[in-house]
Amino acid sequence: MADQRPRALVLAPMRGEGKDILSSLCDIVYEPWIEQHPVKLYKAEDLAAKIAEVAATVLVCESDNVNGPVMEQPLKVIGCTRGDPNNVDVEAATKAGIPVLRAPGRNADGVAEICVALLFAVARGVVVADKECRAGDIYRDGTIPYKRFRSWELAGKTVGLVGYGAVARALEWRLKGLGMNVIAYDPYVAEATYSLDDLIAESDIISMHAPVLDSTRGMIGADQFAAMKPGTLYINAARAALHDTDAMVAAVQSGHLGGAGLDHFDHEWLDPKSDLAALQNVVLTPHIGGATYDTEANHSLLIAKGIQAILAGEKPDNCVNPEVLA
């Protein structure tokens, strides 16, 4: 009797070649969280019950709580479509003998693109100009927009990248293509040769790409903002925890910081009555840097190929606990 095909519970969006590969390997129960109304993310107890209900031996997830009772299920593999599978208790999975896959670099191009979009929007006052056009305020206060929206061009300016991982590298070639100079600080990467202090002193634009660690939380505070050149533009499409928001707001309000572009806020939400929301030279987007169909296609292929390798008795490079495959 032929071996029964594995059944995969897929709670992350998948598309393209990766979805086709997984479909060729497994019977799929496809319930991506982002397509549910309202959005559905499982707690561990509910997820364990769902896995048991559909008799899944493969789990593909993105943001569900994968810990505790989930590890008691007969899973052959957990595929997390994030670059960092921080929603998965990897230690517990390892103890249970369950390999965990991740999707490194899946959204690097998407996040790099929104950094460029935020940079242009801040530097050229795009959002304010759009509002004035729609409100009929183009010639407000007897002034002309050609005067109010004068700015320095980006070509020839220096961008300092704080962190030099996949997103920073994807951003680097885009910026160089615009004629900008790029420098980087990252104590874990040899090619990033600048110290943080030197980078801050030399940069016209600073873009954040570091992970949130004890050593990086709040790394850009009042002292760092004060040390920036007058008029520096600050871009953060990584995590708000990397900077002191109050200090950043104060730096913008004082005129020392030329503006900011942010794709993330504390607790994933911004109080519309906050001082930050009131700043006209700060452009805000709600954590959508990686919200591209390409990101979904990328993580689908990475996870599907990893599952394919594990089911074939191989060790994929994107397994975070390869010791369970020994």
Residues known to be catalytic: 239, 268, 287
Written as one letter, the residue type at 239 is: R
Q: d(Cα 126, Cα 298) in Å, to the nearest integer?
A: 31
What phi and psi values does residue 246 have, to the nearest 5 degrees?
Answer: -60, -40
Structure tokens at 224: 């760092």
Rounded to whole angstroms, the Cα distance separating 149 from 117 reads: 17
Q: What's the DSSP call for residue 287?
A: S
DSSP category for residue 183: E
Cβ neighbours of 90 (radius 10 Å): 19
Other CB atoms within a 10 A radius of the CB of residue 294 amount to 15
Other CB atoms closer than 10 Å to residue 219's CB: what's the count? Answer: 18
What type of residue is 307? Answer: I
